[in-house]
Chains A and B, each alone.
Chain A
Amino acid sequence: MRLKTLRADQVSVGDELPPLDVPITPTLIVAGALASRDFQDVHHDKDIAQRSGSKDIFMNILTTNGFVGRDRYCDVEGRERTRRNCDSRREFSRRPRDRDHNAHAASRVVVISGRAAIAGIGATEFSKDSGRTELRMAVESVKAALDDAGIAPEEVDGMVTFTMDTTEEIEIARNLGMGDLTFFSRVHYGGGAACAVVQQAAMAVATGEANVVVCYRALNGRSWRRFGSGVHTRPAGPTQELVHYSWYTPFGLVTPASWVAMAARRYMHEFGATSEDFGLVAVADRKHAATNPHAWFYEQPITLDEHQASRWIVEPLHLLDCCQETDGAVAVIVTSVERARDLKQPPAVIKGAAQGSADDQEGMTSYYRDDISGLPEMGLVARRMWDQSGLGPDDIQTAVIYDHFTPFVLTQLEEFGFCGRGEGRHFVRDGAIEIGGRLPVNTNGGQLGEGYVHGMNGITEAVRQVRGTAVNQVDSVQNVLVTAGTGVPTSGLIVGKP
C-alpha cells in the first residue's frame, strides 16, 4: 500500500477527497472528548447515554470536526472498485395487447395534439415546514400562475387536481373570486395523475368545455404528515382499496419505497443493474438541484460514494435513492394555443398527453405479471404520445422523468425508447443524463433534489425549458418530455415550441 499526501497545489475547490476510514471505538470517542475538553456525560458514560435515548456513547462533534480537518493520508491505489461483469441483455417481444392500443390510437390522435398550451406556471417555495395551510399555498400558487400568464381569475372556468389532493377546487375558486366553473375533474393513483391533470385540461379546452383550466397540487407532505410513512395505519374495512393493501400490510410491505424496491431487485437480477447505476440518477438530480435556488438541496450536490454510503431504507434502496417529503404547491394554466399566443408568456404547446394502465395493473404492486422488470403502463403512455405528436426519442432535447425512487428512472428511459430494455444502466453512464449530456434529465433537480410536489414541479420545469428560462437551460429546446408517477397507473406529457 502506498500512501500519498495531496499538497495544496494538487487540489482545488470541488475536488472529492479520498474517503477517510476510521474505526469508531469507545477509546477513540473518549480520547476525542478528553482532547477537546468536552466532559458531557453522553460521550463517556454508556448508562447515561442510553437513558438519553442513544444506543451507546457517541462521538462529540468537536472530534468529528477534527477528523474533517485531519491530514488526508489516503490509499489512492487499489481503490478501483471491482464491478461485477454482467451483460445479461435480453430481447423482449412486445406485449400481446400492444397492437390493439395502437390501432385505437390512430383514430384519436389528432384531437389532443397542438390544441392547447400551458400559458402560465406558479409555485410556492419548497420546504419541510411551510408554516401555512395547504389551501393557502394552493391559492398562492394558482394566483402566481395566473399572474404569470396574464389571465384574470374571473376567466378561469375549469379546474383539475389529484384525487389525493385535500384542497377542494371550489374553495380555491372562492378564494380567488373565479365565479362560475363549467369543468372540474380529478385524477386518481397518486403521482400517476401529474401529467394527466394537464391531459384532462387539454381535452376540456379541445372540446370547448372550458377555456381556461387551472391544474394544481398543494401538499404539506412533510409538516402535516410524512408522505412516505406507509399504509399500515389505515383502518380495517371491506372496501376494495383496503382489501388490496391487505395482501401487503400484514407482511410489513407498507411504504412506497418498499413497493418500488421489490421491482427494483428483480430488475437488478434480470439485467445486472447495480445500486451504483441507480445512484447515477441521484447524482444527476442533486447536481442540477445544486444550481437551482428554488431547490431544497440548492448548493448541496452529492457524489456516488455518498449515495453508496447513505443508510438503507429498504434494500436495495439507499436513503439517497428516495425523493424528499416536501411542503409545496404548484399550479399551471392550460388554455387554447390561439389564446396562449396573445398572452404574456410564449406558449408551451401540448403536443402529447396520455394516460396508461396496463394489463394486470395494481397500484404500486403489479407483481403478478409474467415480467415485473418493466413499466408497461408507461410503455403504453409512450407509444400513445409518440403517436399523438408524431415525435420520437430523437426529437426530445430534455426530459423530466418521475423520480420518487431512482430505479424507475432507468425503466422509464427504456419504456420511452431512449435505450433498449435493460440498457438504462448503460444509458445513464458518463454524465449522459446531466446537463451537457445526451439527454439532460430533471434539470430542476427532480423530486430528489428540488422537491416532491407529486410530479407537478416537473411540469413547470418543462415549461421553463420550452420558454428558455430554466436555471439549467438546455440548448435549442424544441420538445420536452415529462412523466408522472411510476408503479401506479400513470400519465405523460410532451410540451414544446409551437
Chain B
Amino acid sequence: MSVAEQTFIERLRGYVGREIESPRTAPWPVNEAMIQHWCDAVGDTNPVYTDPSFESVHDGIVAPPTMLQAWTMRRLGVKPEETGGQSLLFAELDDAGFTSVIATNCDQEYVRYLRPGDLVTVTASIAGVSNEKQTGLGAGHFVDTESVWRDQNGEIVGMMRFRMLKFRPASRAAATPVGVRAHPSMNDDTKFFWDGVAQGKLLIQRCSSCGSLRHPPRPMCGACRSLDWDTVTSSGRGEVYSFVVHHYPPIPGFETPYVVALIALEEGVRIVSNVIGVEPSGVAIGLPVQVSFQAVDDSLTVPLFRPTEAS
C-alpha cells in the first residue's frame, strides 16, 4: 500500500466509533397500515401480522420482525445530516471517486416483537472501514455500521450490523468486451502454425521420419525422436471432444459467456479453440464443427470453429 493510500485509509478509520447521525425516532408509531403494506409487498400471508381475529400466541397483531429498520427510515425529502459521521465519511469516499453505494450484508437480532403503538428510536455508529477491495462492481471500501433500536421505554428491541460497499462504478462499457484477445507468444518451433492461420490454413505438424501427427507443435517427435518435420493441412473438420462455458472473470476481447472447446480434428489430433456461431446451450460433446478463420487485427488471425452446416 502506498503512503497516500495508507494516509487515506487511516483518515477513513478515524470515523470508526462515530455516530452516523443523531438518534432518529420513527415518524409514526408501529401501525397496521404499514404492516399490511409490507406484507402485501413481500407476499407474506401470515395472519399474525394482519388479522386481529386470528388466535395467535402473540395475543394481537405484531409487526414482522424484519420490518425493524423500516420504522425509522428517513422520510422522503429529508436529507442526511451533513455533520453526521456517515455523511462526512461518505463525502470523503465520494471525493476519492467511490461515489456509488450498495448494501452487501445485514445481520439483525430481534429482542421482542413490536406491536402497534410502539414508538422506536434508532442510534447507529460506524463500526469499521475496510482497505480498498476489488469487487465485481468495481473498487471500493466496505463500511460497517451498528444500529440499536429502543422502544418508548428505552428498552432495546433490536440490533443490526450493516455492511455497505462504497465503490467506484466500473465503466458502463465493461459489459462489452474491452481490448482484444491475447496475442500468442511464438518462437521458431511454433511460428509455422500462426503463419498458416494467417494464410487461411490449419497446419498440423507431421514427423518426417515416422509420420506421426502432433499438436501443439514441438521440435522433436516423442515417438521416434526425430527432429525432422513437415506439415499437413487439416480439412478443418472435427467434433467437440470437450468444452467449457466461461462466465468469470471478464477476459479482454471476449463477451461472456463464451465457449472454449477441445476439438478432435478428423486427422486425429486435438486443438483448443472457440466455438462460435451458436449459443453456449447449443454446444455439446460430439457436435460436428468446421474451422473458420477470423482476423483479430492487422497482426493476428485465429482459427475458430463453427457448427458444420447440415448438408
Contacts and interface: CB of A to CB of B under 8 A. Distances in A.
B131 interface: yes
B247 interface: yes
Contacts of A246: 182, 184-186, 190
Interface of A: 22, 28, 31-32, 34-39, 42, 50-55, 58, 60-71, 73, 129, 223, 226, 229-230, 232, 236-239, 242-255, 258, 261-263, 265-266, 269, 311-316, 360, 365, 367-368, 372
- Interface centre among B40, B45, B184, B274, by most chain A C-beta atoms within 10 angstroms, is B184
A94 B215 CA distance: 25
Top 10 nearest A-B pairs (CB, nearest first) are A53-B169, A246-B184, A315-B245, A35-B41, A66-B42, A238-B187, A69-B66, A249-B182, A266-B242, A242-B185
Given A230-B251, A368-B269, A53 B137 contact: yes
Given A35-B37, A63-B42, A265-B244, A251 B260 contact: yes
B90 interface: no
A63 B258 CA distance: 34
B45 A73 contact: yes
A266 B169 contact: no
Interface string B223-258: 000000000000000000111111111011110011
Contacts of A37: 34, 70, 73, 75-76
Interface in B41-64: 41-46, 64
A34 B175 CA distance: 30
B185 A236 contact: yes
A243 B190 CA distance: 8
Interface in B116-130: 130
Contacts of B292: none
A312 B245 contact: yes
A318 B21 CA distance: 41
Nearest to B183: A236
B207 to A, nearest CB: 15
Interface string B254-283: 100110101000000111111000001000
A323 to B, nearest CB: 15
Contacts of A262: 242-244, 260, 262, 272
B100 interface: yes
Nearest to A70: B44
20 contacts: A32-B41, A39-B73, A53-B100, A58-B102, A62-B70, A226-B249, A232-B252, A239-B185, A248-B272, A249-B182, A250-B182, A251-B302, A255-B249, A258-B246, A265-B243, A266-B262, A312-B245, A314-B248, A315-B280, A367-B270
Contacts of B106: 61, 64-65
A365 B242 CA distance: 12
Contact of A316 (B244, B296, B302): B244
B220 interface: no
Nearest to B162: A61
Contacts of B40: 31, 35
A250 B186 contact: no
A66 B67 contact: yes
B38 A36 contact: yes
A253 B272 contact: yes
A238 B101 CA distance: 45
A55 B253 CA distance: 21
A252 B38 contact: no
A249 B254 CA distance: 11
A36 to B, nearest CB: 4
Contact of B43 (A53, A70, A239, A249): A70
B88 interface: no
A423 B73 CA distance: 56
A261 B244 CA distance: 6
A52 B169 contact: yes
Interface of B: 34, 37-38, 40-46, 64-67, 69-70, 73-76, 99-103, 106, 108, 130-131, 134, 137-138, 162, 167, 169-170, 172, 175, 181-190, 215-216, 222, 241-249, 251-254, 257-258, 260, 262, 269-274, 280, 285, 296, 300, 302
A253 B302 CA distance: 14
A69 B244 contact: no
A50 B171 CA distance: 10
A375 to B, nearest CB: 15
A252 B251 contact: yes
Given A223-B131, A226-B134, A262-B272, 18 more contacts: A35-B37, A37-B34, A54-B137, A58-B102, A62-B69, A68-B66, A70-B43, A232-B182, A243-B190, A244-B216, A252-B274, A253-B246, A262-B243, A265-B243, A265-B244, A312-B257, A368-B270, A372-B262
A211 B38 CA distance: 71
A266 B241 contact: yes
Contacts of A258: 244, 246, 260
Contacts of B273: 251
Nearest to A236: B185
Given A69-B65, A230-B249, A250-B184, A60 B103 contact: yes
Contacts of A247: 184, 216, 271-272
Nearest to B45: A71
Contact of B184 (A36, A51, A249, A312): A249
A34 B34 CA distance: 10
Nearest to B48: A71
A244 B272 CA distance: 12
A51 B169 contact: yes
B187 A315 contact: no
A367 B271 CA distance: 9
B279 to A, nearest CB: 13
B43 A22 contact: yes
- Interface centre among A28, A129, A246, by most chain B C-beta atoms within 10 angstroms, is A246
A265 B260 contact: no
Given A36-B38, A68-B66, A248-B272, A253 B242 contact: no
B216 A67 contact: no
A53 B185 contact: no
Contacts of A239: 185, 187
Contacts of B285: 265-266, 269
Contacts of B246: 252-253, 255, 258, 314
A252 B181 contact: yes
B113 to A, nearest CB: 12
B73 A38 contact: yes
B244 A251 contact: no
